[in-house]
Amino acid sequence: MTILDKIVVRKKEEVKEAKARVSVAELEKSEFFNRHVYSFRDFLLNPARTGIIAEFKRKSPSKGIINDQVSVEDVTTAYAAAGASALSVLTDTDFFMGKTEDVIAARRVNGIPILRKEFIIDEYQLLEARAMGADVILLIAAILTPAEVSHLAAFAKSLGLNVLLEVHNLEELKRSIDPHVDAIGVNNRNLADFTVSVDTSFQLVEQIPNEFLKISESAISNTNVIKQLKAAGFNGFLIGENFMRQADPGKAMAEFVKGL
Ligand SMILES: O=P(O)(O)OC[C@@H](O)[C@@H](O)c1c[nH]c2ccccc12
């Protein structure tokens, strides 16, 4: 079993437990459920911002603890002030040390799009994403059939959410592409074996139709790479560890963007 398989097994249990604990009617009554959702496209394409989707990530299966000493409010507001186009906040607890409350806390203090970074396998998690104040949801092609991608993307759109589809090879891209998706993210990290290569982004960019926003995800640690990715056609750059491994991730991002 790969780590991704393990995460999905655990996720199925979690979703079952959550459904038993909190009804859909309760989710629909939550304070953020009917709020205005920010447009991922507008923020990513705004030239006054950096295109960086800055991630709050305490821990990962590949790196272990990255940083569990900082607050989600401090870091995300500093990311936004440093020019982030959007925020990414992990909500998986067992593998990434994240939680629903992290998105809620980030939502209260930020006015830019928030991606609920989660392993989505069920419609219920999209209702949760809406309820916690997220604007963007992630669909990972490696764990979903094309029919599931299409169904979940359409349901997310019906809730007003933006959809980011993540692929890490041409086969996943070809089989999963769907008109309900807003953005396609090329993950430079293979979630099955953790190998990383930014070349994955350069190889796949030409194959992504231009109606989709193009995002390069993971293992981005210098501004020259961002310049090259931009020249190749990418609109967004998802960065986590490079900032989070510093004592002050917001300050690390502010320093980083000086090089753009
Ligand atoms: O920390 P990095 O290498 O900058 O990567 C950030 C982000 O791309 C990565 O956390 C990620 C990309 N896709 C995911 C899916 C699930 C969990 C995590 C991820």
pLDDT confidence of residue 170: 98
Q: Is 206 a known active-site residue?
A: no
pLDDT value of position 17: 98
ipTM attached to this prediction:
0.98
State whether the beta carbon of 238 lies less than 6 angstroms from ligand 1: yes
| pLDDT attached to residue 144 | 98
- Residue 93, phi then psi, degrees to nearest 5: -90, -50
| CATH code where residue 218 lies | 3.20.20.70
CA distance 224 to 179: 32
| Active-site choice (217, 235, 241, 242) | 217
- Average model confidence (pLDDT) across the chain: 98
Output the six-digit token pair for 203. Answer: 């190889």
Residue 65 confidence (pLDDT):
98
Which residue type does 158 have?
Answer: S
**Rounded-to-integer distance, Cα 233 and Cα 210, Å:** 9
Ligand 1 atom closest to the CA of 219, numbered from 1: 3
The structural domain count of the chain equals 1
* 13 in active site: no
Residue 38 CA from chain centroid, whole number: 15
Query: Containing domain of residue 201, as a range?
Result: 3-257
Q: Nearest to residue 205, comparing CAs of 221, 195, 217?
A: 217
Q: What pLDDT sits at residue 191?
A: 84
Are the CB atoms for 103 and 114 separated by under 8 Å? yes
CB atoms within 10 A of CB 158: 11
Among the atoms of ligand 1, which is closest to the Cα of residue 221? 4
Structure tokens at 167: 């692929």
- pLDDT one-digit tens code per residue, 211-226: 999 999 999 999 999 9
Can 150 be counted among the known catalytic residues?
A: no
pLDDT band at 210; cut points 50, 70, 90: very high
Task: Give pLDDT tens digits for 67-109.
Answer: 999 999 999 999 999 999 999 999 999 999 999 999 999 999 9
Q: Is-catalytic flag, 217?
A: yes
pLDDT at 193 exceeding the cut of 90: no
